[in-house]
Amino acid sequence: MYGQLIEQAEKYLRSLYAQDNIAAQLKRRLAELLAEGEANADAACRALKLSRRTLQRRLRAEKTSFQKVLNEVRAVLAVNYLSDNRLKALEVAMLLGYSSISSFTTAFKSWYDMPPAEYRQKYLPHV
């Protein structure tokens, strides 16, 4: 199962680099910005060299939004980070830009229908 998760994450990242739509560009930038602790709309607009309004318009044309794209990136990265047994759930929450473990847990449950600890136990048993 672990090998499948890693393969899925790598496939996801490759697919982002193969796409050139604004949502894919935003996903790439957000992954970088999350690592820097600055994943917000203003930072993303600066990184993409777009006004906030232009970004909103282009995302709407692709039937998505900044928050949806951010959540997609966070959901994928959450699983990647949880697969590292050195990282505690609180650290994963902070890496993803959440201010509390409860906010992260709520978001994680909305993505995977279970809390991070249960996901780790069920799908990442070696962790």
Number of domains in the chain: 1
**CB within 8 Å of 86: residues ≥ 6 apart:** none
pLDDT range class, residue 7, cuts 50, 70, 90: low
Domain of 101 in residue numbering reads as 2-123
CATH assignment of the domain containing 91 = 1.10.10.60
- Provide the whole-model pTM: 0.82
36-67 residue pLDDT tens: 888 899 999 999 999 999 999 999 999 999 99
